[in-house]
Amino acid sequence: MLRALREADFDLTVVVSIAYAEEQAAGPQQRMTAETVEDLRRSLETLTGEEDPLLRAIRRPLSIERLGRQPLGNLVLASVASAFGDYGAASVWLGEQLGIAGAVLPATTQPLPRQIETADEASTSDPSGAGAVRRLRFAGEVLTPEPAITAVERAQWVLLAPGSLYESVLSTAAVPDLAAALARTRARVLWIANLEAGVGEAANMTAIDHLRVLTAHGVRVDAVLHDPSAPLRFDASELEGEGVDSIARPLRAGGENAGHDPEKLRAALEELIGSRASTIAGGRVSRR
């Protein structure tokens, strides 16, 4: 998605998760901390327009005792965040060194564990019809950097990026402060839907199940941009029944197991948003 937006004339703020699966906490703390900034680094890389030496350097993998093999950019972000005491400031600093337009911010002030647990069936219906609902929970104090909240509140459009439903989309948009900002912003909230159901917690869900899981977690969605030819298909009448607009456009790249085509996605977004808008993109850039 960021490849599509990079060349468009948008004032862009990107918000991504730095939460990690709770079971990861059992591993070495330094390695876990470095890996939590993976999406920050990849977003910064994607928004960097030219292959300059710094970009090549932060992509370079290094093998370090106890940390294993890590891209240099992950280690730089974790180290600078430790020095600043602020992961958002570290990301903004590296973005300035790379010369990117816009900003990449973490959804939470610090990395924190997330867990997916079964909700109480007595109080929550099961959207997938395949078992008990899975709920994303954050452990510890969940705080969001003020610039990320402000970006949502002042945006003209909020784009929820495609990606893993629980690990990416909910881990960003369902953070309490961000979900509250989504609820009150005057922006149009557009969810760019996945093309396939995915794996893990979302494997047995239909397209409308994905939407219902988002709303069950308090994530506002005004419209869904989706490809009617994708394996994960939406029914316009079902979306209407949920009070959500259906926007069907060709988005898939060619070939087998194709993801979103950046050019098709850019064309769809420019048509919807216009040539100039203040935009915030949340969630993982793409599913890899």
For position 285, what pLDDT does the model report?
37
Q: Is 288 a member of any domain?
A: no
pLDDT digit string, tens, across residues 70-114: 788 888 998 899 899 899 999 999 999 999 988 999 999 999 999
Question: Does 145 share its domain with 255?
Answer: yes
Q: Tell me which of 231 and 49 has the higher pLDDT.
A: 231
For position 249, what pLDDT does the model report?
96
For position 56, what pLDDT does the model report?
87
Q: Express as a percent the part of the chain with pLDDT over 90.
A: 58
Which tokens go with 53?
A: 């030496």
Question: Does 233 share its domain with 123?
Answer: yes
Judge whether 159 and 281 are in contact, CB under 8 Å.
Answer: yes
* CA-closest candidate to residue 99, choices 143, 138, 49, 145: 49
Q: Tell me which of 184 and 6 has the higher pLDDT.
A: 184
Beta strands in the chain (DSSP E): 10-16, 20-21, 61-64, 68-71, 103-106, 113-118, 134-138, 157-160, 188-192, 223-226, 245-248, 277-282
Judge whether 287 and 13 are in contact, CB under 8 Å.
Answer: no
Question: Does 75 share its domain with 112?
Answer: no
226: domain range?
2-19+107-282
pLDDT higher than 70, residue 159: yes
Question: Does 112 share its domain with 148?
Answer: yes
pLDDT digit string, tens, across residues 104-127: 999 999 999 999 887 554 344 444
Q: Distance from CA of residue 181 to its chain's centroid?
A: 16
Q: What's the whole-number mean pLDDT along residues 4-29?
A: 78
Q: Is 141 a member of any domain?
A: yes
pLDDT higher than 70, residue 160: yes
Question: Does 180 share its domain with 46?
Answer: no
Q: Is 256 a member of any domain?
A: yes
- CA contacts within 13 A on the Cβ side of 33: 15
Question: Does 127 share its domain with 217?
Answer: yes
Alpha-carbon gap, residue 220 to 287, rounded angstroms: 22
Question: Does 111 share its domain with 228?
Answer: yes
Question: Does 162 share its domain with 71?
Answer: no
What is the number of domains present in the chain? Answer: 2
Q: How confident is the model at residue 128 (pLDDT cuts 50, 70, 90)?
A: very low
Boundary residue ending a domain (50, 72, 103): 103
Question: Does 189 share its domain with 63?
Answer: no
